[in-house]
Structure 1
Amino acid sequence: MDQSLIPPSNHQEIILPEDAFIVSKTDHDSCITYVNQSFCQISGYTENELIGHNHDIVRNDLMPHGIYNLMWEHLKAEEEFFGYIVNRNKDNSYYWTLINVTPFYDQGKLSGYFAVRRAPSQESLAIIKPLYETMCKAEKDAPSELLLPMSSAVLWQAITKEYQSYAEFVLSL
């Protein structure tokens, strides 16, 4: 395994409680407009530190760009997205979530996105973590113009033998 894809030893993994639901709302540009108390507790940020900031505030470098690209393809098509996301805590710890992101509307016009995250199973993470590590390695090794195609190729090669889509793959875990 590429050592650059392993979190530094001072970055601890936070295991979410099974009953935790992390909720956030953003505008259509991914600027945070609402977070619940669980989001604050897990991320280590206060509500005031989160509101008004881009959701990238919790983005983790262990997360493949290819998955974010796939998420935005769904959201721009005004479709919901299911996926596994690894986020960064304020103290650089990290936590894995199973996320559902749904567009929401005001008077028929796209207003933003509503996201609910919960604890993923350890069994699903045993499948997701190596896949994401391989995607990150492909991204790291690719020239910038091929970063997303290389990452996507790794994902599709891994899942298309058994699944028609990433959502079907995620929901099967």
Structure 2
Amino acid sequence: MAELVYDDNELIVSKTDTKGRITYGNELFLKLAGYSEKELLNAPHNIVRHPDMPKVIFKLLWETIQSGKEINAYVVNRAKNGDYYWVLANVTPSYDASKNIVGYYSVRRKPTKEALDVIKPLYSQLKSAEASGGVNASQKILEELITEHGGQYDKFILSI
């Protein structure tokens, strides 16, 4: 399958409810994903999950945003036709007037080649660990990496 390309200054935006069902996607998200708005609205956001994505990254993402914190993560997504595209995602909780989380907001931009040169082999290592030892095995690798970077995942992500 082919890698989809978009401009460095373009932003991919989507919103979900608390269950991860898509409530909004901007034009670029629809274009890259290859789905119509009707197909994407109310669909689970993992409709664009690429099989090469380590489960541990999504585990960390969900734990972080459900706790009310934002997270940055590199993600490879899969379009409807099987093509793929990489993003650097910033995901934040959305709140109602009573400060309850009512959904999540994600703004994604094109990652640098240098960052992907670090992320691709790491994700391959995490996927291999998951294949042989499950998510716990890949989580151990990720936790060691985070410890090496001062104990903060975002600090590691933003350093590359």
TM-score range, shorter chain: over 0.9
Residues 83-140 of structure 1, C-alpha deviations (whole Å, 9 max, x = no match): 1011001111111100000001112221100000000000000000000000000001
CA offset at residue 172 of structure 1? 1.1
Tell me if 1:69 matches 2:56: no
Partner of 1:100: 90
SS of alignment partner, residue 148 of structure 2: coil
* Among 121, 124, 147, the residue aligned to 1:160: 147
Partner of 1:85: 75
Q: Structure 2: which amino acid aligns with 1:25? A: K
SS of alignment partner, residue 53 of structure 1: coil
* Among 20, 39, 46, the residue aligned to 2:36: 46
The 8 Å contact of residues 149 and 155 in structure 2, kept in 1 or not, is answered as no
Aligned CA-pair RMSD: 1.1
Tell me if 1:124 matches 2:115: yes
Partner of 1:5: none
CA offset at residue 162 of structure 1? 3.1
- C-alpha separation in 2, matches of 1:29 and 1:102: 14
CA offset at residue 27 of structure 1? 0.4
SS of alignment partner, residue 56 of structure 1: helix
Q: Using structure 1 for the length normalisation, give the TM-score.
A: 0.88
Give aligned pairs, total.
159
Unaligned runs of 5+ in 1: 1-10
- C-alpha separation in 1, matches of 2:6 and 2:147: 30
SS of alignment partner, residue 94 of structure 2: strand
CA offset at residue 16 of structure 1? 2.8
Q: Structure 2: which amino acid aligns with 1:36? A: N
* Among 127, 131, 142, the residue aligned to 1:140: 131
Q: Structure 2: which amino acid aligns with 1:170? A: I
Unaligned runs of 5+ in 2: none
List structure 1 runs of 4+ shifted beyond 3 angstroms.
none
Q: Structure 1: which amino acid aligns with 2:103? A: G
CA offset at residue 66 of structure 1? 0.4
The 8 Å contact of residues 16 and 118 in structure 1, kept in 2 or not, is answered as no
Percentage of matched positions with identical amino acids: 42
